[in-house]
Amino acid sequence: MTRKTAGGKTSGMRSRSTAARPAARPDRQGALSQQLKEARRKKRQKQVMRNRLIFVGVCIAILLIVILLIVKLFGFISGVGKKAETSTITFDKDGKVVFEEVVDFDTETYSKSDLKDYTNDLITKYNDSHEDDDIELDKVSVSDNKAYVKTTYKDVETYSGFTSYQTFDGTYESAIEAGYDFNTRYSTVTAGTEDAAPTLSESQSVDTDTAFAGKRIVVVNENVTVVVPGIIEYVSDADVEVISNNTVKISPADGNNDSTSLVYIVYRAE
């Protein structure tokens, strides 16, 4: 290609080619950087999801613990202040004895303070004659012409010593060593369920050395409700009512509250 110059002459210089240049190669370093960023993003997402799952798991665990504590607290609160309706002796698995005495009370002649002072004096005199404070006065209340006194005894020997009632809690073998005679008739107790109360069989003779071996024995000589730390399996021939798997109520056979019988309660410790 030529072009004219001034004066009509032509020039032999050709113009530079205007053909399109080839496209630039992609920035490989830039692509790799994008891939790394994407990989880091996905990793962060996985970490976030994992942390969320851990957080949710921890929250659920804390919620379950809180619910459990609330249930236990509710049970404790509902039990606080709960009183036996009849005189009840409870044998704890740690050896302590809790006695809740419920008796008629003439509020016109005596007062609650008189009852509390009198009970405190008796307990103080007994504790002063022993090395430890073996008896604790837990509660005294008076309502509807009924007096309620709750006391806790260090062990069954303390209870027997203070009340003068013949009482025992131990193994069958230790009861034999203590001189208790099991030569009487017994009723078998069939444990109750949620839908059925425990039942008593007809009293009969029992080979006690075989049937009672290794069992726990409670001996009571009072007309009271008895609670043991286990499942009752046998009760000696007496006027008793099975309240639950661990509770029986002893009543005088002739209706005279001053008349008592020695009652043997055989139970399986839990």
**Domains of the chain as residue ranges with CATH:** 73-164 (3.30.70), 166-270 (no CATH)
**Encoding tokens for residue 138?**
């837990």
Q: Give the pair of three-digit tokens for residue 26.
A: 């992609």
Contact indicator for 250, 224 with CB cutoff of 8 Å: yes
| Confidence at residue 197, expressed as pLDDT on a 0 to 100 scale | 86
Q: Give yes or no for a contact between 238 and 230, defined as CB atoms under 8 angstroms apart.
A: no
* DSSP three-state, residue 251: coil
Which of 166, 102, 96 minimizes the C-alpha distance to 135?
96
Nearest partner of 226 among 172, 167, 181, judged by Cα: 167
**What pLDDT sits at residue 144?**
85
Sequence-separated (6 or more) residues with CB below 8 Å from residue 267: 215, 216, 217, 218, 228, 229, 230, 231, 232, 233, 246
CA dihedral 106, 111, 115, 120 (to 10 degrees): 180
Whether the Cβ atoms of residue 227 and residue 91 lie closer than 8 Å to each other: yes
* 23: three-class secondary structure by DSSP: coil
Q: Is 26 exposed, middle or buried (0-12, 13-18, 19+ CB in 10 A)?
A: exposed
Residues 145-173: pLDDT tens digits?
A: 899 999 999 999 999 999 999 999 999 99
DSSP 144: T
**Mean pLDDT, all residues of the chain:** 84
> What percentage of the chain has pLDDT greater than the value 90?
53
Which pLDDT value is given to residue 25?
53
Number of helices and strands (H, E) in the chain?
5, 15
As a dihedral over the C-alpha atoms of residue 203, residue 204, residue 207, residue 208, rounded to 10 degrees, the angle is 20
Task: Write down the pTM of the prediction.
Answer: 0.69
Phi-psi region of 97 (alpha: psi -120 to 50; beta: other; left: phi over 0): beta
pLDDT value, residue 170:
96
Angle at 228 between CA 224 and CA 233, to 5 degrees: 100
Distance in angstroms (rounded) separating the CA atoms of residues 10 and 200: 138
* Residue 266 contacts residue 232 (beta carbons within 8 Å): yes
Confidence of residue 132 (pLDDT cuts 50, 70, 90): confident
72 compared with 26, residue with greater pLDDT:
72
